[in-house]
A and B are shown apart, each in its own frame.
Chain A
Amino acid sequence: MLPHLGEAYSLARYLTRNDHDAEDVVQDAYLRAFTYRETFRGEGSQSARAWFLTIVRNTAFSWKRKSGNRVEVAEFDETHHSEAVAGNHPEAAMLRTAEREALADAIEQLPTEFREVIVLREVEGLSYREISEVVGVPAGTVMSRLSRARERLQRALLPVRGD
Chain B
Amino acid sequence: MRHPDLEMQVDAWLDGELPAVEAGEIEAHLERCPQCARFREERLALRHAVRTALPQLTPSATLEARVRRQLKDARVRERARAGLGTRQWMAIAASLLIVALGSWQLGRQQPHATDLGDEVLRSHVRALMPGHLTDVLSSDQHTVKPWFNGVLDYSPPVYDFAGRGYPLIGGRLEYIGGKKVAALVYGRRKHLITVLVWPRAQGESAGKAGFRQGYNLLSWTTPSYVYWITSDLGRPELTEFSTLLREADAMAGVGPKE
Interchain nearest-CB distance for A3 vs B (Å): 4
B232 / chain A contacts, CB cutoff of 8 Å: 127
From A48, A118, A124, B100 is in contact (CB under 8 Å) with A48
Chain A residues proximal to chain B, CB less than 8 Å: 1-7, 9-10, 13-14, 23, 26-27, 30-31, 33-35, 37, 40-49, 52, 80-81, 83, 99-100, 103-104, 107, 118-119, 121-125, 127-129, 143-144, 146-147, 150-151, 153-154, 157
CB–CB A143/B49 < 8 A: no
Stretch at the interface among B55-63, B134-142, B154-162, B249-257: B55-63
Interface residues of B in 168-201 (CB under 8 A from A): 189-191
A147 / chain B contacts, CB cutoff of 8 Å: 7-8, 11-12
CB–CB A128/B17 < 8 A: yes
Stretch at the interface among B65-73, B112-120, B145-153: B65-73
> For residue A151, which residue of chain B has the nearest CB?
B7
A151 / chain B contacts, CB cutoff of 8 Å: 7
A42 / chain B contacts, CB cutoff of 8 Å: 104-106, 108
> Known interface pairs A26-B67, A31-B71, A144-B8. Does A153 touch B50 (Cβ–Cβ under 8 Å)?
yes
A80 / chain B contacts, CB cutoff of 8 Å: 55, 57
CB–CB A103/B50 < 8 A: yes
Tell me the complex Cα distance, A113–B156, Å: 46
CB–CB B190/A48 < 8 A: no
Tell me the complex Cα distance, A127–B235, Å: 12
Show 28 A/B contacts (Cβ-Cβ < 8 Å), sorted by A: A2-B64, A3-B130, A4-B101, A5-B59, A6-B56, A9-B57, A10-B57, A13-B57, A14-B54, A23-B59, A26-B59, A26-B63, A30-B70, A31-B74, A33-B101, A35-B74, A37-B99, A42-B104, A47-B106, A81-B53, A99-B49, A121-B15, A122-B47, A122-B51, A143-B11, A146-B11, A154-B46, A157-B49
Chain B CB within 10 Å, residue with most, of A26, A41, A119, A127: A127
Tell me the complex Cα distance, A124–B104, Å: 20
B60 / chain A contacts, CB cutoff of 8 Å: 23
A129 / chain B contacts, CB cutoff of 8 Å: 214
Interchain nearest-CB distance for B189 vs A (Å): 4
Tell me the complex Cα distance, A120–B184, Å: 27
From B49, B57, B63, B108, A100 is in contact (CB under 8 Å) with B49
Interchain nearest-CB distance for B201 vs A (Å): 36
Tell me the complex Cα distance, A39–B98, Å: 15
Interchain nearest-CB distance for A69 vs B (Å): 23
From A14, A31, A83, B70 is in contact (CB under 8 Å) with A31
Interchain nearest-CB distance for A135 vs B (Å): 15
Tell me the complex Cα distance, A143–B10, Å: 11
Interchain nearest-CB distance for B168 vs A (Å): 18
Nearest first, the 5 A-B pairs at minimum CB distance are A42-B105, A9-B59, A125-B189, A37-B100, A3-B101
Interchain nearest-CB distance for A34 vs B (Å): 5
CB–CB A3/B67 < 8 A: no
Tell me the complex Cα distance, A83–B96, Å: 37
Quick check: is B102 within 8 A (CB to CB) of the other chain?
A: yes
From B11, B54, B68, B109, A107 is in contact (CB under 8 Å) with B54
Quick check: is B246 within 8 A (CB to CB) of the other chain?
A: no
CB–CB B11/A150 < 8 A: yes
Quick check: is B52 within 8 A (CB to CB) of the other chain?
A: yes
Quick check: is B97 within 8 A (CB to CB) of the other chain?
A: yes
> Known interface pairs A9-B63, A37-B96, A83-B55. Does A27 touch B105 (Cβ–Cβ under 8 Å)?
no
Quick check: is B143 within 8 A (CB to CB) of the other chain?
A: no
B50 / chain A contacts, CB cutoff of 8 Å: 103, 107, 118, 122, 150, 153
Quick check: is B42 within 8 A (CB to CB) of the other chain?
A: yes
